[in-house]
Amino acid sequence: MDFEFSPEDEAYRQDVRQWLSGHHPGKPPAPHGSPAWLQWAKNWQRQAYDAGYLGLGWPEAYGGVEGTLTQQVVLTQEMVRARVPGFVGQMGMRMLAPTLMRYGTEEQKQTYLKPILKAEQIWCQGYSEPNAGSDLASLQTRAEEDGDDFIVNGQKIWTSGAHYADLCFLLVRTDPDAPKHRGISYLIVDMKSPGVTVRPLRQMTGAATFNETFFDHVRVPKTNLIGELNRGWYHATTTLSYERTLLANSARTELFFEDMLDLARQGQGQRAASHPSMRQKIAQLKIETEIAKLLFYRNLTTELRGDIPGPEASIMKLYSTELNHRICGTALELMGPYAALWQDSKYVVDEGAWHYEHMFTLGLVIGGGTSQIQKNIIAERALGLPK
Ligand SMILES: Cc1cc2nc3c(=O)[nH]c(=O)nc-3n(C[C@H](O)[C@H](O)[C@H](O)COP(=O)(O)OP(=O)(O)OC[C@H]3O[C@@H](n4cnc5c(N)ncnc54)[C@H](O)[C@@H]3O)c2cc1C
């Protein structure tokens, strides 16, 4: 098997690398989600768009440029390597856009795809509810038909970025009498509509990147329906498989591992790594990092063949997100007593980045479908085991 990138892709890598070295945006202003941060994040995405790095392989009519999926992967790898933050519009670009291209009307594609790339419109994902997370199909947010509109009532939760998003791709129940998977529709909702209320939720990292989102008699034009009425569940699962691919970025895992290894080679970390059990643990993590990379390439192959990632996306998401969390945990172990220090201490290692990542990576084990749910999918769909 050949896992090398083609000479064209490698040439593209050099091009991206050079561009990033001349246009590195530096550190984003804190706190995450503030108006200054949002403007910075939009400017950065816009710069990348203007330089022709976004919308690779999308039709030109929707703002796309010529390019391949492997070039998209190369771009992500190089951004991670250069320690550049991900794009603020990635939920729109990587999750909604593929769904819209498959199921959206021509008018929807014309209206939304280019502003997604240019960071003119930021999207959030309105799926989870207080009583519908893993069992998403039990969702109860209702949309009732009223002339040319739907009237939406209900509550979503854990809506990442809802506090700055312009639009939401929202799952709603449109037929309460149908079996639960068959009564769901997929809507586009303007977050500035009267009746939408967003309340931030603070996470254990201290940041507030996700929210409770309330819909109280929100009027949504019927032209904002994506795909067929009551077929939203099937469209939503397309979005979810792309979300798993987004969350399982093997370049991120490799960088976590390299940074953790640096810790093991110096100071307190070197003392800890002189113990055989710690050395074996690190060697094991190296093996797992390689496996994560191969799982990522397998998933990429599925996408290159034009197929939607299936259970292989679940295997990759489960494996990579848990591995990222373990690598960050090992970094904390290497610090020994320094792991007890928080960001406000002048002795804290790496400005407290490992503490933050250890908590944040746990969130990604849960977000996009928990590990237990991924295992259920693998058992049923890949292995054919009974439910
Ligand atoms: C960082 C982060 C960002 C997120 N962003 C978004 C977002 O932007 N939009 C959005 O809609 N949602 C978002 N979510 C929500 C996420 O999709 C849900 O948290 C996730 O699907 C789990 O649902 P839940 O929290 O309701 O947990 P529950 O479904 O209540 O699960 C609780 C526990 O029970 C286990 N469990 C549940 N059912 C089963 C089963 N059948 N078999 C075995 N075990 C089971 C779960 O694995 C879990 O351990 C985000 C979550 C996180 C952590």
pLDDT of residue 358: 97
Q: Higher model confidence: residue 94 or residue 174? A: 174
What whole-number distance in Å separates Cα of residue 361 and Cα of residue 373?
A: 17
What CATH number does the domain containing 359 carry?
A: 1.20.140.10
Q: Is residue 316 part of a domain?
A: yes
Instruction: Tell how far the Cα of 375 is from the centroid of ligand 1, in angstroms.
Output: 14
Set 78, 243, 254, 312: catalytic member: 243
In a domain, residue 183? The reply is yes
Indicate whether 225 and 254 sit together in one domain.
no
Whether the CB of 76 sits within 6 Å of ligand 1 = no
Cβ 170 vs Cβ 141: under 8 Å: yes
Decide whether any atom of ligand 1 lies within 6 Å of the 239 Cβ. Answer: no
* Res. 309: pLDDT tops 80: no
Instruction: Among 123, 134, 215, 361, say which to mutate for ligand 1: greatest number of ligand atoms within 8 Å of CB.
Output: 134
**Sign of the C-alpha dihedral computed for residues 65, 253, 318 and 84 taken in this order:** negative
Q: What is the pLDDT of residue 313?
A: 87
- At 118 the pLDDT is 98
Do 336 and 273 fall into the same domain?
yes
Asked whether the predicted pLDDT for residue 240 surpasses 80, the reply is no
> 174 and 259 share a domain?
no
Could you give the CA distance from residue 287 to residue 306 in angstroms, rounded to a whole number?
Answer: 30
Give the number of the atom of ligand 1 that is nearest the alpha carbon of residue 132: 26
CB neighbourhood size of 110 (10 A)? 12
Residue closest to 319 by CA, chosen among 283, 278, 289, 357: 289
Helix axes 250-264, 276-304, angle to 10 degrees: 160
Candidate from 78-92, 152-166, 306-320 with smallest mean pLDDT: 306-320
Q: Is 145 a catalytic residue?
A: no
Q: Highest mean pLDDT range out of 238-247, 294-303, 367-376?
A: 367-376
* Count of domains forming the chain: 3
Q: Is 373 in the pocket of ligand 1 (CB under 6 A)?
A: yes
Average pLDDT over residues 351-355: 94
So what's the pLDDT on residue 376? Answer: 96
Q: Which atom of ligand 1 is nearest to the CA of 136?
A: 21
CA–centroid distance, residue 7 to ligand 1 (Å): 41
Instruction: Please report the atom of ligand 1 found closest to the CA of residue 131.
Output: 26
| Residue 272 shares a structural domain with residue 347 | yes
Average pLDDT taken over every residue of the chain: 94
| Residue 242 domain flag | no
pLDDT digits (tens, 9 = 90+) for 113-162: 999 999 999 999 999 999 999 999 999 999 999 999 999 999 999 999 99
Task: Give the CA radius of gyration of the chain.
Answer: 22
- Asked if residue 220 and residue 337 are part of one domain, the reply reads no
131 CB within 6 A, ligand 1: no
From the number of C-beta atoms within 10 Å of its C-beta (0-12, 13-18, 19+), residue 222 rates as middle
Together in a domain, 142 and 264 = no
In a domain, residue 243? The reply is no
Instruction: Assess whether 219 and 254 both reside in one domain.
Output: no
Same domain, 372 and 255: yes
| Ligand 1 in reach of 299 Cβ (< 6 A) | no
Structure-token pair, residue 242:
């792309």
Is the CB of residue 127 below 6 angstroms from any atom belonging to ligand 1?
yes
Tell whether 101 is covered by a domain.
no
In this predicted model, what pLDDT tens digit does every residue of 202-236 receive, in sequence order? 999 888 899 999 999 999 999 999 999 999 999 98
- Domain ends where: 44, 72, 88? 88
Ligand 1 center from residue 96 Cα (angstroms): 20
* Ligand 1 pocket check for 159: Cβ under 6 Å: yes
Residues 343-371, mean pLDDT to the nearest whole number:
94
Residue 1 has pLDDT above 70, yes or no: no
Query: Does 104 reside within a domain?
Result: no
The preferred substitution site among 96, 128, 317 for testing ligand 1, maximizing ligand atoms within 8 Å of CB, is: 128
User: Which of 42, 65, 88 is where one domain is finished?
Assistant: 88
In a domain, 338, yes or no: yes
| 222 and 254 fall within a common domain | no
Residue 196 pLDDT exceeds 90: yes
C-alpha separations of 357 from 31, 266, 347, 360 in Å: 16, 20, 18, 5
* Residue 359 Cα to ligand 1 middle (Å): 16
CATH of the domain at 134: 2.40.110.10
Looking at the structure, do residues 253 and 362 belong to the same domain, yes or no? yes
Structure letter (DSSP) for residue 183: S
Q: How far is the CA of 116 from the centre of ligand 1 (A)?
A: 26
Classify residue 29 by its DSSP letter: P
As a whole number of Å, the end-to-end CA separation of the chain is 35
Q: What percent of the chain has pLDDT over 90?
A: 83
The reply to whether 82 and 161 lie within a common domain is: no
Atom of ligand 1 nearest to the CA of 162: 8
| DSSP state letters, 361-382 | HHHHHHTTS-HHHHHHHIIIII
> Do the domain assignments include residue 117?
no
Q: How does 300-338 read in b/e, with b if 16+ C-beta sit within 10 Å?
A: bebbeeeeebebbbbbbbbbbbbbbbbbbbbbbbbbeeb
361 C-alpha to ligand 1 centroid (Å): 14
Structural domain for 312, as ranges? 248-382
Q: Are residues 224 and 265 in the same domain?
A: no
Q: Which residues pair with residue 226 across a beta bridge?
A: 186
